[in-house]
A = this chain, B = another copy of it.
Amino acid sequence: MDSINIKKLAEALNFSTSTISRAFRDNSDISAATKSLILEKAKELNYQPNHYASNLREQKSKTIAVIVPELANNYFSQAIHGIERVARENGYHILIYVTDDNYDKEVNFIRHLHNGRADGIIMSVSGEANDHNYLNKFGAKRLPLVFFDRIYEDIKTPRVITNDYNSSFLATEHLIEQGCKRIGYLVVNKTLSIGKTRMQGYIDALAKHNINFEEQLIVDCSNSYEENSTIIKDALTQLKPDGVFTSVERLAFATYYACYDLHLSIPDDLKVISFSSLEIAPLLNPSLTTITQPAAEIGEEAAKLLFKILDDNQDKNVFNEVILQSKIVVRNSTSDSPEKP
């Protein structure tokens, strides 16, 4: 090993390793002169305190793990960006894990992370979860955990969510106001937190406007592109809705493709509104009416929440819930008189 370490740097400067170490931490007493001397030499030799040794010694990693269901989704990449920004400001690094909506992977990631690799976890849960009690099994030893967006309601841990119920209610109402009578709700897992909450908003909005709720208009989709294509085309053909409200971005895209195939016109034959953080929603054909979540901000808030726990150990069990507001942006996919862009 020709690599540099604290001992070699100490020898090179005729100091003890403790003095070197002190030069790198802000609190310890050290004369300004020796400190700058050491830092200079360190830069010259490209020395940096070994991260693993420091962490072993200090029992923390300055690293947070981020677990998301998918990456090819504007919402999550924006959220991660927000997390990354706050983490970096706090001198933390982020590890990324993608579950592909696979429950087993999620469990494995979490279990694995309990080896000291990360000081805390920020997670949006996978859509497959049935038994997520595994999180409780860690007991007092569980790593600080913050949920965002897709949460397990029964796990008591800080979370950042948006006003999903309300947004869904308004989204459904918007379709009704645009004249829709048969509104479909497209969802990936209607038992999962967001799928469920959003469905309730949909149901209640129908009720308020005296529209009969038909169970079959709740269309349960999958995570497979091909399956969804079939499911949605069947639904459109057989149920003949005049509007759909999709709980995730991907299903709106699938609906667009289905309409192209079936030669249905959006918005004339079918109006579409969707949760989506797509920045180019205005460029779609037709431009997509969205419920836009403040994704980057959600990430930032989640990170801040985690750092709050990490900072003051005492209120480790404080239950915090941050609710941010989404906003509905009406565009041509729900508007009868589309101003041609």
**A interface residues, Cβ below 8 angstroms from B:** 1-4, 46, 48-53, 55-56, 59, 61, 63, 71-74, 77-78, 80-81, 84, 93-98, 111-112, 114-117, 137-138, 140-141, 253, 256-257, 260, 279-280, 282-287, 341
Contact = CB atoms under 8 A, between A and B. Distances in A.
Given A52-B61, A116-B51, A284-B280, A93 B95 contact: yes
Nearest to A85: B98
B285 A114 contact: no
Contact of A50 (B2, B56, B78, B286): B56
A77 B114 CA distance: 26
Q: Copies of this chain, how many?
A: 2
A114 B4 CA distance: 10
Given A51-B117, A53-B56, A286 B285 contact: yes
Given A72-B81, A96-B94, A341 B285 contact: yes
B80 A137 contact: no
B279 A116 contact: no
A115 B284 CA distance: 46
A338 B4 CA distance: 63
A81 B98 contact: yes
Pick the 3 closest A-B CB pairs, nearest first.
Answer: A285-B285, A48-B115, A52-B56
Contact of A77 (B46, B72, B341): B72
Nearest to A225: B279
A137 B97 CA distance: 32
B71 A80 contact: yes
B279 A72 contact: yes
A199 B286 CA distance: 33
A46 B115 CA distance: 9
